[in-house]
Amino acid sequence: NAGVTQTPKFQVLKTGQSMTLQCAQDMNHNSMYWYRQDPGMGLRLIYYSASEGTTDKGEVPNGYNVSRLNKREFSLRLESAAPSQTSVYFCASSGSRLTGYEQYFGPGTRLTVT
């Protein structure tokens, strides 16, 4: 039982390059989330998916796209990376209302855009 896994762990991009961050969970959770974490800003929600086939914007969606490929996988794509997207990206998943949507986090992807 691996929980939430993310790949890659580290990535360096040049401005304008594209990439996809991968996330998978093996807890049969319906909801999945992508956050970015910047110094002094805490966690900010980029996109989330309440169930397979649905996605919704969070607080900071500009410059990102997402795909909920199936119940397990939720990917985040940067089409044209910008230095402002340098951050640590976390994927998370949560189960049900009964657990108060307690979230389980992956280890993060550290992205630098030069």
Partner 1 sequence: SQQGEEDPQALSIQEGENATMNCSYKTSINNLQWYRQNSGRGLVHLILIRSNEREKHSGRLRVTLDTSKKSSSLLITASRAADTASYFCATEDQGGSEKLVFGKGTKLTVNP
**What amino acid is encoded at 51 in this protein?**
S
Q: Is residue 91 within 8 Å of 81, Cβ to Cβ?
A: no
Minimum distance of partner 1 from residue 100's CB (angstroms): 4
Helix (H, G, I), strand (E, B), or coil: what is residue 49? strand
By C-beta, is 48 or 74 nearer to partner 1?
48
Minimum distance of partner 1 from residue 80's CB (angstroms): 26
Judging by beta carbons within 10 Å of its beta carbon (0-12, 13-18, 19+), is residue 36 exposed, middle or buried? buried
Minimum distance of partner 1 from residue 29's CB (angstroms): 11
By C-beta, is 9 or 77 nearer to partner 1?
9
Phi, psi of 98 (to 5 degrees): -60, -30
Residues that bind partner 1 (CB under 8 A): 4, 31, 33, 35, 40-43, 45, 48, 50, 58-59, 90, 92, 94, 97, 99-108
Minimum distance of partner 1 from residue 15's CB (angstroms): 26
Taking the C-alpha atoms of residue 52 and residue 30, their distance in angstroms, rounded to an integer, is 7
